[in-house]
Structure 1
């Protein structure tokens, strides 16, 4: 278990999760769908396949 999460990854995922919460409460765009959440998290973490 030698992998670690960089600070920028934590910040980007936190901002995206805040956007998702606001989206569900007000905006209603399609970026809060689970498929988009997985894609964005995979891109940030560097492992889209997983």
Structure 2
């Protein structure tokens, strides 16, 4: 069976990265809440966290 890639809009990624930085929650906690892998969330933080 073929796995389908999930698509996340840029705004979702930006908000996820922002949530980690402002909520005080760990990356693992936010990733679990959003249903994404921790590594993926770390990429979004690098991508959107500093560049806004």
TM-score range, shorter chain: 0.3 to 0.5
Structure with bigger RCO (C-alpha 8 Å, 6+ apart) = 2
Larger Rg, first or second structure (1 or 2): 1
